[in-house]
Each structure stands twice: as structure tokens, then as C-alpha cells.
Amino acid sequence: MNEKLKELYNAETFRENGYDLIDLLADFLTDSQRAENKVNNWLPPSEQLEYWENYDTSNSSPKQFFADILEKSINVHHPKYMGHQISPTAPLAALSSLVVSIVNNGAAVYEMGAAGTAIEKVIINKIAKKIGFDENADGFVTSGGSLANLTALLTARKKICVDSPIGNQAVMVSSEAHYSIEKALRIMGLEEENIIKIPINEHFNMKTSALKDSYHEAQANGKKIFAVVGSAPSTSTGSHDNLEEIARFCNEHSIWFHVDAAHGGGAIFSTKYRYLLAGLEKADSVTIDGHKMLMMPSIMSFLFFKNGSDSYAAFKQRAAYLWDKEKNNEWQDLAKRTFECTKNIMSIQFYAILKFYGEGVFDDFVTRLYDVAKMFATDVAVRQDFELLLQPQANIVCFRYLVEGWTDSRLNQLNRAIREYLLKEGDFYIVQTTINDNVYLRITFMNPNTTGIHTAKLLKKIQALSSFLVAYF
Ligand SMILES: *Cc1c(COP(=O)(O)O)cnc(C)c1O
């Protein structure tokens, strides 16, 4: 064996690098809590590219390399990270990922990942029960909410819509639903006009009273509606659709009911906020992202089916070299049900937290973040120079800075500039969204260490920035 290859697999080198790395990451987690440190060291894409193209390791070490990666990455562990919906990874879950990487088993065929496959089954059963499903329910872990939504919709079509030509197949979904739903339906060959958008009410929830008319109109045009998708909540504003009412409608018309709870599904653990998901147990299928509100590393998503045997419908096939006999409904060979062939083990991370910390930490995490969002919204609503778009149901808050007498178009330019400035300066990370053609600043509270002190500083910062930026618009 060549020396380099021998060195690469040397266990003692791994031990040394590993100790260095753990020290580095522990210091990183400690430093992340210091509010004066930056969330993000912004570089324009071209400079970032140039940096890594010319990166020189000749006098460096893996530890230095990892340190540089940290320095050049946005810090989701920072309490002033309030941007996109991604968890600050629970450190024990991250350590589990290291084990998963070294073991490098799969979770598609039992014999190629015995522990991971069995653990996946344990957590699926556990969460299915938490949703309120009975013992007939089943599901699996898959690579992202987008793939979970696609798999659910493929299943819905197979179960409900066998005889209709693709050109007639249609789905009803709120106009605020996540774009992964539309993407999935386009992949499935549905035309744009068959992705029927149900309008929203003043709280940005699906106007469920509009389902009936849309359904009859679609029917009159020869369309076969095979699914309604509810958002729990929608991404832009964090608004929860009324799942009870959608369930009733779907039941009446024999339509598949899928709930995209990628973001908010974690609230099944929250004693205080579980009510937002009332009716979830009436869904035929449910998507929940672990990497959003369950502190998991990306990516890790659950897909559940109320009727477990439906979990085989999307991809049922024969792969003679993997299974000697086609026996249906065997839990242990997950590849019969999932899009993935080589499937990463994504269950051990969740199981580790569940076993060593108990499900109370999930309750604490979700409840705390939803509470902080409510407090922040109250703070924004009372200020004359800010507009709160709506009272948040979850941990997503949309708001904008106001200047008296300004048109929306000027306010849009100002708020866009505020967000751009914040991004480049790196003290805070927030995002923006467009609602009714207007630009809003958007916060998702993801870090349990974020408090009113941080948010008060953010508002002060926005005020200070605005007093300087108003001269430009
Ligand atoms: C994030 C999200 C998705 C997509 O999930 P990925 O894991 O990013 O693929 C789908 N729907 C909603 C509501 C989301 O918030």
C-alpha cells in the first residue's frame, strides 16, 4: 500500500485529528454564545470561490482547515441567527452523525444497516403515535421534506387516481404552500392549471370555505382532484391551515389529505402549542423535517402514512438482487418504499437525543421558540416605526420598517436595503420575503438562546440603519 493511503486510514492519526476537532468545535459552541461575535463573515460569492480555489494546506493542518470552514460559514448556533429554518444541531446528534459517517451503513436494506434500520422503525412508531395515528400507521425517514412531499403525492395519485390521464389529474393547495409542493407536482407531470391554488384568508391560512367551489369547478372541467395539501405551517408567514376542516372535506369527497408539517410538525411535542396541529391525525400522510424544529442535522425528514401499507405504493418494484422473494410489508427493507437506494442513516441522531434527554427537550425547544416569536411580535406591534404583518402562530415573524408618508415602493427599497446591510455586516442574520408585492423582513426563531435582549438590539440596529439609509431613497 502506498504511504499516503496507509496514513489516510491510520487510526492514531484519526485519534489525534479527532481530539483536535472536538476541542475546536467545543470552543466554537462556547464562542457562539458571545453576542459580540459575528453570525456571518460575509464574502461575495466570487471572493469565496477564489479563497477556496487558492486555499493552501502546505503549512496547515486538518484542525486549521476545519477552523477556516467555521470562519467562512454562517453560524446557526449564534443567538443572533434568526434567518432560514434550520436547527442549531443538538451536539449529541452531531456526534451521532460522525458515528454514522464512519460506520457508513445504509438504511435501505436490513443486512446493510441492521442497527440503523431497527432504530428508524422505533422512532417512526414513536412519532406516529405522537401524531395520534393508531398501530396501522407506518412511515420512514427520507432525504428532505421536498422528497417526502413528492413521495406522499406520488402515493396519493396511485391510491386515488388510477384511471385518469395525467392531463386531468389535479391537486388543491393553499396559495401560500411551500414551493416544493409545486415542484413535486411538476415532476409528476401535472400542468400548472391543475395545481389549483386555494386563496388565503386575512390570517394567511387556506380559506377552506373555498375548497368546495374550486372542487366543483375542477370537476365540471373534467379534472380529477386526487389530493389536498395542508400547510402546518406555511413557510413565508408561518400560518397553520385548518387541518380539521380540510380533513372533513377530503373525507367527504374521498380525496387524499397530505399535511406538509415540514416546519411545524415538531409541535406534536409541545403541550402548549399542540393545538395548532389539531386534525393532523386525520391526514393520510404527514411530512415532518427533523432539521427544522427537532434539532437534527440536515437533512432528516419523516414521512408518515395513516395506513401503513400505503407506504409501499409510490415505488413498489422488484429488485431481485436485493430480496430473494417478494414479500410485502416487511418493515426492515426500507428501499421498497423510499426513493433512495443507498439511504443515509438519519435515525440514530434523533434516537440519541430521545434516549439520553427524553422527549421533554423537544417540547421545551419548540415551546420556547414559539414563545419568543410571540414576545417579539408584541414588541414590534407597539412601535410606531414598525409594522407587524400578522400575529405569529409559530416561530416565524414578518414585519417591516415604516417611514410616515412613504409609498410602498419606497418602503420596499428601504427594507431591502436594511436586510442587505444586515447580511453584509454580519451582526445579525435575518431574511426577507415578499407579501402582496411588498418586501417584509422575516425572522424565524431557531435558537433557544435567543432572548428579548437580542431582539431589542436588532430593532435598535434597524432603526439606526434606517436613519442613515432613508437619505438614499
Ligand atoms: C422546508 C420546507 C419544505 C422543504 O423541506 P426540505 O427539507 O428543505 O426539502 C417543505 N415544506 C415546508 C412547509 C417547509 O418549511
Read off the C-alpha cell for 420.
442587505
Task: Give the whole-angstrom CA distance, residue 156 versus residue 313.
Answer: 9
Beta bridge partners of 173: 197, 229
Contacts 24+ apart (CB under 8 A), 119-128: 119/347, 119/348, 119/351, 120/334, 120/345, 120/346, 120/347, 121/331, 121/332, 122/347, 122/351, 123/347, 123/350, 123/351, 123/354, 124/302, 124/304, 126/354, 127/268, 127/288, 127/302, 127/304, 128/304
What is the pLDDT averaged over residues 201-217?
Answer: 97
For every residue of 403-445, DSSP letters joined together read -TT--HHHHHHHHHHHHHHHHHH-S-B-EEEEETTEEEEEEE-
Residues 208 and 151: beta-carbon distance below 8 Å: no
pLDDT tens digit sequence for 159-173: 998 789 999 999 999
Residues 401 and 414: beta-carbon distance below 8 Å: yes
Q: How confident is the model at residue 322 (pLDDT cuts 50, 70, 90)?
A: low
Q: How confident is the model at residue 183 (pLDDT cuts 50, 70, 90)?
A: very high
Task: Give the whole-angstrom CA distance, residue 3 versus residue 351.
Answer: 39
Please state which CATH class domain 361-472 belongs to: alpha beta
Q: Output the average pLDDT for the chain.
A: 95
Q: Please, which residues have CB within 8 angstroms of residue 421's CB and are 6 or more apart in sequence? A: 465, 469
- What pLDDT was estimated at residue 330? 76
Task: Give the whole-angstrom CA distance, residue 344 versus residue 201.
Answer: 40
Closest atom of ligand 1 to 231 CA is: 13
- What pLDDT was estimated at residue 41? 95
pLDDT at 158 over 90: yes
Q: Please name the residue ranges forming H helices in 193-282.
A: 211-220, 243-253
Task: Give the whole-angstrom CA distance, residue 71 versus residue 290.
Answer: 26
Q: How confident is the model at residue 107 (pLDDT cuts 50, 70, 90)?
A: confident
- What pLDDT was estimated at residue 108? 82
pLDDT at 318 over 90: no
Percent of the chain with pLDDT over 70: 97
Q: How confident is the model at residue 126 (pLDDT cuts 50, 70, 90)?
A: very high
Closest atom of ligand 1 to 177 CA is: 13
- What pLDDT was estimated at residue 320? 52
What's the count of helices (H) and strands (E) in the chain, helices before strands?
Answer: 15, 11
- What pLDDT was estimated at residue 90? 98
DSSP 186: H
Find out whether the beta carbon of 87 lies less than 6 Å from any atom of ligand 1. Answer: no
Closest atom of ligand 1 to 292 CA is: 1
Find out whether the beta carbon of 263 lies less than 6 Å from any atom of ligand 1. Answer: yes
Three-state secondary-structure class, residue 465: helix
- What pLDDT was estimated at residue 332? 81
Nearest CA to ligand 1 atom 15: 263
pLDDT at 9 over 60: yes
pLDDT tens digit sequence for 371-412: 999 999 999 999 999 999 999 999 999 999 999 999 999 999
Domain extents in the chain: 99-357, 361-472
Cis peptide before 127 (omega within 30 of 0): no
pLDDT at 314 over 60: yes
- What pLDDT was estimated at residue 319? 52
Read off the C-alpha cell for 23.
476541542
pLDDT tens digit sequence for 38-84: 999 999 999 999 999 999 999 999 999 999 999 999 999 999 999 99
In the CATH scheme, what is the code of domain 99-357? 3.40.640.10
What is the pLDDT averaged over residues 214-243?
Answer: 97
What is the pLDDT averaged over residues 339-344?
Answer: 91
Query: In which order are the strands placed within the sheet that holds 386-388?
Result: 386-388, 396-401, 438-444, 431-435
Residues 146 and 184: beta-carbon distance below 8 Å: yes
DSSP 19: H
- What pLDDT was estimated at residue 160? 94
Distance 444 CA to ligand 1 centre (A): 14
Q: Which amino acid, 465? A: L
Task: Give the whole-angstrom CA distance, residue 82 versus residue 454.
Answer: 10
Read off the C-alpha cell for 318.
422488484
pLDDT at 303 over 70: yes
- What pLDDT was estimated at residue 327? 54
User: Model-level pTM greater than 0.85?
Assistant: yes
What is the pLDDT averaged over residues 263-268?
Answer: 98
Give the start-end residues of each E strand in 175-300.
195-198, 224-231, 256-260, 285-289
Find out whether the beta carbon of 260 lies less than 6 Å from any atom of ligand 1. Answer: yes
What is the separation, in whole angstroms, between the first and last Cα of the chain? 66
Find out whether the beta carbon of 466 lies less than 6 Å from any atom of ligand 1. Answer: no
pLDDT at 109 over 90: no
Distance 149 CA to ligand 1 centre (A): 9
H/E run at residue 366: helix 360-381
Task: Give the whole-angstrom CA distance, residue 115 versus residue 127.
Answer: 18
- What pLDDT was estimated at residue 317? 61
Q: Which of 84, 153, 175, 289 to mutate to test ligand 1, by most ligand atoms within 8 A of the CB atom? A: 289
Find out whether the beta carbon of 151 lies less than 6 Å from any atom of ligand 1. Answer: no
Q: How confident is the model at residue 212 (pLDDT cuts 50, 70, 90)?
A: very high
- What pLDDT was estimated at residue 325? 52
